């Protein structure tokens, strides 16, 4: 099968003072044409670093230390700047987490949108196309909004502008990095529905980065759960919600409001993710795991296939075989 994107054994490091932090550690996944693929996990687990590695936008102290990123079969891992510019935006677009830190506060929305359009277009055509893009993402009074500055727009509207910028050059793969961060629940729902509508209309594939399993359940076809820079479970969305086979995935599900009976308390994963500068020996989730045994503190489990397209990284995943779906609507 031909994939629009294949990530193979990706390793991304960041230099922090005298230390090297392995932010992405041997990550692999494939994305089909038209698919929505979810990268799930707590903050700092490597989701955003994975996306920035794919599109070649790592910070100065970061570098790809190993592995490959293949776009339509072409290795784009170490392309020169000019070559990557041809792919960035035109083939692969990205929506960043915080519009207020990504949008230039002193430049009008229209200017920022037209900067994303082809240099071959006339000034008038660019302005017309910018207005069309704003209409596409559900912003009314498009011509008026083009003259606005970011601070004059609501949070939801700024996020829609970010989507419009990401779509400006007609990418076939969209990386959406926590696209609903800092938005209230109603606006979150609107933005997600808009993204899925545009995905269908424009025939795109999407990587959705989120810490919200409920969002992933509604929107994704396949999911990879990340912890401490590694994928710990990967499966089709229905499989992973019906039959989670990693203690971390199961813990995330149990912390969803929909998993709790009325009058009961939410179950939380105790403790905090490990410091990537001082990783524990063995499985990094062991100190927080209710199924942990001695071997977990000594030996890192392999990512093994346990069913059709279902992989998990756990010595004792069979302890979860009797676990039923904990998310409403996934029985």
The answer on 286 and 212 residing in a single domain is no
In sequence order, what DSSP letters do the residues of 104-141 get, joined into one string? -TTS-HHHHHHTTS-TTS-HHHHHHHHHHHHHHTT-SS
The answer on 216 and 267 residing in a single domain is no
Q: Is residue 329 part of a domain?
A: no
The answer on 145 and 94 residing in a single domain is yes
Quick check: pTM over 0.85? yes
The answer on 135 and 66 residing in a single domain is yes
* Sequence-ordered list of residues with C-beta below 8 angstroms from that of 61, at least 6 positions apart, any chain: 14, 15, 16
Task: Give the domain range for residue 269.
Answer: 227-320
Give the separation between CA 272 and CA 288, rounded to whole angstroms: 8
Which of 156, 187, 220 marks a domain boundary?
220
Q: How far is CA 286 from the centre of its chain?
A: 25
The answer on 247 and 102 residing in a single domain is no
Q: Is residue 34 part of a domain?
A: yes
Do 26 and 11 form a contact (C-beta atoms < 8 A)? yes
Q: What is the pLDDT of residue 222?
A: 98
Q: Is residue 249 part of a domain?
A: yes
Which of 220, 242, 275 marks a domain boundary?
220
The answer on 234 and 172 residing in a single domain is no
The answer on 100 and 47 residing in a single domain is yes
The answer on 133 and 36 residing in a single domain is yes
| pLDDT digit string, tens, across residues 51-104 | 999 999 999 999 999 999 999 999 999 999 999 999 998 999 999 887 888 899
CATH of the domain at 77: 3.40.50.300
Q: Is residue 326 part of a domain?
A: no
Q: Is residue 276 part of a domain?
A: yes
Q: Is residue 328 part of a domain?
A: no
Q: How far is CA 85 from the centre of its chain?
A: 21
Digits of tens for pLDDT over the chain (331 positions)? 689 999 999 999 999 988 999 999 999 999 999 999 999 999 999 999 999 999 999 999 999 999 999 999 999 999 999 999 999 989 999 998 878 888 999 999 999 999 988 778 899 999 999 999 999 999 989 999 999 999 999 989 999 999 999 999 999 999 999 998 778 888 889 989 999 999 999 999 999 999 888 889 999 999 999 999 999 999 999 999 999 999 999 999 888 776 555 655 667 898 999 999 989 999 999 999 999 999 999 999 999 999 999 999 999 999 998 876 555 444 4
Q: Is residue 103 part of a domain?
A: yes
The answer on 256 and 171 residing in a single domain is no
Q: What is the pLDDT of residue 264?
A: 58
- Kindly state the tokens that stand for 265: 């308390």
> What's the Cα-to-Cα distance from 43 to each of 147, 160, 167, 203, rounded to whole Å?
35, 23, 26, 30
Q: First vs last Cα of the chain: how many Å apart?
A: 30
Neighbours of 117 (CB within 10 A): 18
Which of 194, 220, 246 marks a domain boundary?
220
The answer on 174 and 94 residing in a single domain is yes
Please give the tally of structural domains in the chain.
2
CA angle (136, 142, 148) in 5-degree steps: 125
The answer on 44 and 95 residing in a single domain is yes
Q: Is residue 121 part of a domain?
A: yes
CB half-sphere exposure, 295, CA atoms < 13 A: 7
Q: What is the pLDDT of residue 119?
A: 73
The answer on 108 and 46 residing in a single domain is yes
């Amino acid at each position: 099968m031909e994939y629009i994107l294949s990530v193979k054994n990706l390793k991304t490091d960041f230099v922090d003072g005298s230390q090297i932090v392995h932010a992405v550690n041997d990550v692999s996944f494939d994305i089909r044409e038209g698919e929505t693929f979810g990268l799930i996990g707590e903050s700092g687990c490597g989701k955003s670093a994975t996306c920035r590695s794919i599109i070649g936008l790592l910070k100065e102290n970061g570098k790809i230390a190993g592995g490959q990123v293949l776009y339509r079969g072409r290795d784009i891992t170490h392309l020169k700047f000019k070559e990557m510019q041809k792919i960035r935006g035109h083939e692969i677009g990205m929506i960043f987490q915080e519009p207020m830190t990504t949008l230039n506060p002193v430049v009008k929305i229209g200017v920022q949108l037209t900067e994303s359009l082809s240099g071959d277009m006339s000034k008038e055509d660019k302005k017309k196309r910018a207005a069309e893009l704003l209409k596409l993402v559900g912003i009314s009074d498009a011509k008026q909004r083009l003259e606005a500055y970011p601070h004059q727009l609501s949070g939801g509207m700024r996020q829609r502008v970010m989507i419009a910028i990401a779509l400006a050059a007609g990418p076939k793969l969209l990386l959406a990095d926590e696209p609903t961060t800092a938005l209230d629940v109603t606006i979150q729902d609107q933005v997600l529905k808009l993204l899925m509508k545009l995905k269908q209309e424009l025939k795109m594939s999407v990587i959705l980065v989120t810490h919200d399993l409920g969002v992933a359940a509604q929107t994704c076809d396949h999911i990879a759960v990340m912890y401490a820079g590694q994928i710990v479970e990967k499966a089709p969305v229905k499989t992973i919600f019906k039959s989670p086979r990693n203690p971390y995935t199961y813990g995330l599900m149990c912390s969803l409001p929909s998993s709790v009976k009325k009058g009961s308390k939410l179950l939380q994963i105790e403790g905090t993710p490990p410091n990537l500068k001082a990783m524990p020996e063995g499985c990094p989730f062991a100190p927080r795991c209710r199924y942990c045994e001695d071997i977990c503190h000594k030996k890192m489990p392999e990512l093994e296939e346990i069913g059709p397209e279902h992989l998990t990284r756990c010595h004792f995943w069979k302890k979860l075989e009797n676990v039923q779906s904990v998310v409403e609507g996934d029985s």
